């Protein structure tokens, strides 16, 4: 994640509106992050320890959560508090994501490791990931927003791509694009580790 910090407000009126602006921004931010990952409110509640009703109020900009609650939400997304709250500012044309930065490890267990390769603090319509699947590992997803598509390229190993009732097997160097607004999956079809690069593209009016 970017380590830029929001620039100070520049007028008395902006300062007065600060808390309201933060509440508004946080609500939109949490909803964008949650829906972008195809999480339900229940899933985020389970990951964060914050009640579903409180999360719903935050997303509807009807609650001003405490620092502790906001920190729990940030940790559920694998983010720092500053990254969750910051407003992207124009400035540097270069954003670097270091391979050792565990902030970008979206998921890591014995079967699947997912590393985000696109800045998490940006409101965007494209998300870029590196996915490692151990033998027997699979990444299964519920339908994303209507119109969402995924594009992947196999770097290592063999994977089976499933989208609705269609499926095909890919080898190193092969690429595929498919609907992601239906149940879909990426399954390690080989005996060794599989590594892929995955791009999610959301239709502009669906977010």
Regarding whether 115 and 71 lie in a shared domain, the answer is no
Instruction: Give me the pLDDT at residue 1, please.
Output: 33
The SS3 assignment for 55 reads helix
Whether 168 maps to a domain, the answer reads yes
Whether 96 maps to a domain, the answer reads no
Beta-bridge mates of residue 107: 114
For residue 33, give the CATH number of its domain.
1.10.260.40
6 within 8 A of 87, measured Cβ to Cβ: yes
Regarding predicted confidence, which is higher, 205 or 142?
Answer: 142
CA distance 84 to 105: 16
The SS3 assignment for 119 reads coil
Over residues 118-176, the pLDDT tens digits come to 876 555 578 899 999 999 999 999 898 888 899 999 999 999 999 999 999 999 999 99
Regarding whether 110 and 155 lie in a shared domain, the answer is yes
Regarding whether 171 and 123 lie in a shared domain, the answer is yes
Of residues 109, 178, 126, 150, the one with CA closest to residue 117: 126
| Assessment of whether the complete model's pTM goes beyond 0.85 | no
- Where are the strands (E) in 11-125, listed by range? 105-108, 112-116
Q: Is the pLDDT of residue 89 over 70?
A: no
Regarding whether 200 and 159 lie in a shared domain, the answer is yes
């Amino acid at each position: 994640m970017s380590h830029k910090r929001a620039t100070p407000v520049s007028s008395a009126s902006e300062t007065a509106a600060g808390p309201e602006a933060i509440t508004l921004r946080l609500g939109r931010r949490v909803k964008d992050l949650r829906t972008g990952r195809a999480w339900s409110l229940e899933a985020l509640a389970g990951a964060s320890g914050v009640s579903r009703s409180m999360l719903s109020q935050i997303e509807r900009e009807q609650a001003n959560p405490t620092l502790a609650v906001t920190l729990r939400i940030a940790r559920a997304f694998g983010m720092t508090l500053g990254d969750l709250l910051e407003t992207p500012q124009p400035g540097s044309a270069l954003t670097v994501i270091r391979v050792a930065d565990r902030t970008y490890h979206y998921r890591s267990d014995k079967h699947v490791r997912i590393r985000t390769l696109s800045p998490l603090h940006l409101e965007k319509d494209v998300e870029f990931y590196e996915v490692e699947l151990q033998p027997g590992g699979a990444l299964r997803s519920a339908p994303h927003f209507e119109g969402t598509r995924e594009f992947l390229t196999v770097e290592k190993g063999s994977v089976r791509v499933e989208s609705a009732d269609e499926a095909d097997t890919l080898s190193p160097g092969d690429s595929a694009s498919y609907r992601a607004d239906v149940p879909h999956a990426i399954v390690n079809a080989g005996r060794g580790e599989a590594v892929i690069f995955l791009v999610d593209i959301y239709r502009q009016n669906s977010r």
